Amino acid sequence: MTQPAPTDRRTGAAAVAAGVLLFASVAAELVWTVQRPDGTVTNLAGFALYLTAWTAGAVALVVALVGLGGSRSAAGPLPRSGRIGRGIALAGAALLVAFGAVAVVSALAAGAPAEWSFLLFAVGLLLLLVASVPLALGLRRAGGLGDWWVTVLVAGAGALVALGAAEDPWHDLGLFVFFAAWIALGLRLVRAASDRREPAPAA
């Protein structure tokens, strides 16, 4: 008997969770606005729910990045450039976690998120953009994911649009492309977990 490779399954599930939770957080705010244009929160419970989903999604992205390109992953061990890209991406994802935590705590305390918390968001997304090229090329060189390394470049393109477009709908569309790319990569890793199996321990 065989069992799925646990690293791929865990990493893929984390990537899917990251994309879904981040997507849900942004999409829900578009459907039900809980802030005024000046940033004042009109519904603290709703705002806290959105930012909690965001923070959980960012944490899941950190978990996915940690597992991506590990020695037991279907992606294969990353070369040096890929490891550098992953390190930069991890720093960016950590800043997205910090953004969510700071925004929700400051909003609950003062009725509006701290303005400087959005700097954490912008720098975090910028780092993920910068990291996308070396990480994608590292995954390409590792060779375990076939052409799916391109999804990391697509995520970077989404981050670029989100950072470069100050107005909606382009900003949000860029974010949705970023989220969707990580969902796609996560699904590929989950599929790899079912295709790449290891011998189960003898009974």
Q: Is 40 a domain residue?
A: no
- pTM equals 0.89
User: Mind giving me the DSSP string for 135-193?
Assistant: HHHHHHHH-TTGGGGHHHHHHHHHHHHHHH--STTHHHHHHHHHHHHHHHHHHHHHHHH
Kindly state whether residue 151 falls inside one of the protein's structural domains.
Answer: yes
Of 98-102, 141-145, 170-174, 175-179, the poorest mean pLDDT is in 141-145
Model confidence pLDDT, tens digit, residues 184-193 = 999 999 887 7
Residue 203 placed within a domain: no
| Predicted confidence (pLDDT) per residue in 12-31, tens digit | 999 999 999 999 999 998 88
Q: Which domain holds residue 78?
A: 2-35+45-194
Q: Confidence band (pLDDT; 50, 70, 90) for 203?
A: very low
- Encoded amino acid at 129, one letter: L
Question: What tens digit of pLDDT does each residue of 104-114 get?
Answer: 999 988 888 89
Q: Determine, yes or no, domain membership for 101.
A: yes
